[in-house]
Amino acid sequence: MENEPTRVVVVGQGYVGLPLAVRAVECGYDVVGLELDHDRVKQITASESFTDDISDAELAEVNATGRYRVTTDPNDCGVFQVALITVPTPLSEGIPDLSFIREAATVLAGCLRPGALVVLESTTYPGTTEEIVRPILEAGSGLRADLDFSLGFSPERIDPGRDRGPFWQTPKVISGVGAASLRAVEAFYRTIVEEVVSVSSTQVAEMTKLLENTFRHTNIALMNEIAMLASDLDVDVWEAIDAAATKPYGFMKFVPGPGVGGHCLPIDPSYLDWWVMRRLNVHLRFVNLANEINTGMPGYVVGRVFGALNAAGRAVRGARILLVGLAYKANTSDVRESASFAVAERLLRFGADVHACDPRVGEVDLDERVARVQLTREELLSADLVVILTDHDDFDYDLIADSARRVLDTRHRVHGRQVEYL
């Protein structure tokens, strides 16, 4: 790109799109954030960030530049030099739902001009950029990819809740549908991230993202299965994991937990399995096994709740149970697919009096029978059982150890004689 682009459209202003838009503004671009959700648009316009990756102050500064506009109206896209697609890629009845990508590509096709660049960032199965996005852009604009406009795929790698710095400090995998596209993709990302890693095709870049998340998903499942067995075998799996992690090579630390959540891990590996099935008519067995183990974890945790209460001569029905942590992951406010919800729902079904505390999580769609409470000494003292589900760093674990009568800790953060671990 010889003439540096000035106008960037980011389609989807969610956990991925908003930080991207903010970074682009900070790097000097004029940015239009296209977002379907009116509430989200209002929030962003009022400089109220919904993601831990962007502070309200940072958003206010970006809003004040006059170079960022968030809108629900596709006609506001205007003529752009760069468009980035960061829309959701959910599963619908177990099948990849690319309707959001199709919709975004259709909108962009209408404003596409020669020389522009379009990059898909949503996680998806290999072939999506070539087989879905490209034909929509070409048919809607009358232009040809890699000749008249550039097209690429670049997966997002943000790690919610972890203090690893902003996304642009993590190497970014980039790709193009041809050599000219790759050059354009590279020229753009070099202006907003510190390091780019080029791969030879959009399919390889799409596969890279699924590989990363499937690796994480299956390793968590492995630790979950070992944790369930270790508990019956009377071995401290947490101590063994920490000891194994001292090996400087050949071992990467993953830990068990009450189940996987968020937008990525419960979904992305199934995209890979679906794609392998479609192409080769075989299942990716690791993915299915990991799904089975990880989705079974909330049920296993509830079984352990039964056991812990039984040991104290109590039934689950009528027992007061305090769930600590509602977010799917430590130090985030994101509750998408959170295992805490699955645990709460099951306990309610068995007649438990469920209380839950998570100061990071605002009003969410949680069964109204769950009492939202603060983590106080009184609350801890009144609980028949405290279950640690999300280990935010700012929970007072000493207070829990001092005050709770019984603790089931799925994250290995509380220490004391009354504590049992996953």
Ligand X SMILES: NC(=O)c1ccc[n+]([C@@H]2O[C@H](COP(=O)([O-])OP(=O)(O)OC[C@H]3O[C@@H](n4cnc5c(N)ncnc54)[C@H](O)[C@@H]3O)[C@@H](O)[C@H]2O)c1
How many binding residues for ligand X (CB under 6 A)?
Answer: 26
Minimum CB–partner distance for residue 388 and ligand X (Å): 23
Minimum CB–partner distance for residue 123 and ligand X (Å): 4
The CA distance from 134 to 148, in Å, is 12
Asked if 287 and 273 touch (Cβ cutoff 8 Å), the reply is yes
3-class SS of residue 151: strand
Residue 343 is a binding residue for ligand X (CB under 6 A): no
Minimum CB–partner distance for residue 160 and ligand X (Å): 5
Residue of the chain from 5, 7, 17, 321 that contacts ligand X (CB under 6 A): 17
For residue 197, give both structure tokens: 């890693």
Residue of the chain from 172, 263, 346, 355 that contacts ligand X (CB under 6 A): 263
Asked if 356 and 338 touch (Cβ cutoff 8 Å), the reply is no
Residue of the chain from 43, 49, 122, 390 that contacts ligand X (CB under 6 A): 122
For residue 290, give both structure tokens: 């990991």
Residue 264 is a binding residue for ligand X (CB under 6 A): yes
264 is catalytic: yes
Residue 12 is a binding residue for ligand X (CB under 6 A): yes
Q: Residue 165: count other Cβ atoms within 10 Å of its Cβ.
A: 10
Element (H, E) at 320: strand 320-324
Minimum CB distance to ligand X smaller for 89 or for 202: 89
The window from 132-140, 154-162, 217-225, 365-373 that contacts ligand X (CB under 6 A) reads 154-162
Residue 14 is a binding residue for ligand X (CB under 6 A): yes
Residue 156 is a binding residue for ligand X (CB under 6 A): yes
The CA distance from 105 to 149, in Å, is 14
Ranges of H-type helices in 263-334:
268-280, 285-311
Residue 158 is a binding residue for ligand X (CB under 6 A): yes
Minimum CB–partner distance for residue 243 and ligand X (Å): 30
Minimum CB distance to ligand X smaller for 327 or for 407: 327
Name residues contacting ligand X, limited to 45-104 (CB under 6 A): 86-89, 100, 103-104
For residue 71, give both structure tokens: 């809108």
Q: Which amino acid is at 20?
A: L
Residue 16 is a binding residue for ligand X (CB under 6 A): yes
Asked if 95 and 274 touch (Cβ cutoff 8 Å), the reply is yes
Minimum CB–partner distance for residue 107 and ligand X (Å): 6
Cα(first)–Cα(last) distance of the chain, in Å?
53
Q: Residue 10: count other Cβ atoms within 10 Å of its Cβ.
A: 30
Name residues contacting ligand X, limited to 22-41 (CB under 6 A): 34-37, 40
Minimum CB distance to ligand X smaller for 29 or for 167: 167
Asked if 380 and 403 touch (Cβ cutoff 8 Å), the reply is yes
Minimum CB distance to ligand X smaller for 19 or for 256: 19
Minimum CB distance to ligand X smaller for 13 or for 218: 13
Closest to 54 in 3D by CA, of 31, 23, 82, 85: 23
Minimum CB distance to ligand X smaller for 33 or for 319: 33
Name residues contacting ligand X, limited to 283-342 (CB under 6 A): none
Residue 227 is a binding residue for ligand X (CB under 6 A): no
Q: Is 250 exposed, middle or buried (0-12, 13-18, 19+ CB in 10 A)?
A: exposed
Name residues contacting ligand X, limited to 383-402 (CB under 6 A): none
> Which residues neighbour 28 within 8 Å (Cβ) at sequence distance 6 or greater?
67
The window from 12-20, 56-64, 170-178, 251-259 that contacts ligand X (CB under 6 A) reads 12-20
Q: Which amino acid is at 323?
A: L
Minimum CB–partner distance for residue 44 and ligand X (Å): 10
Minimum CB distance to ligand X smaller for 63 or for 128: 128
Closest to 232 in 3D by CA, of 314, 300, 298, 289: 300
Minimum CB distance to ligand X smaller for 227 or for 259: 259
Sheet holding 117-120, edge to edge: 68-71, 30-34, 7-11, 82-85, 117-120, 150-153, 172-176, 196-198
The CA distance from 320 to 146, in Å, is 62
The window from 15-23, 54-62, 290-298, 346-354 that contacts ligand X (CB under 6 A) reads 15-23
Ranges of H-type helices in 312-349:
339-349
Residue nearest to ligand X (CB): 14
Which residue numbers are catalytic? Answer: 264
Q: Which residues bind ligand X (CB under 6 A)?
A: 11-17, 34-37, 40, 86-89, 100, 103-104, 122-123, 156, 158, 160, 263-264
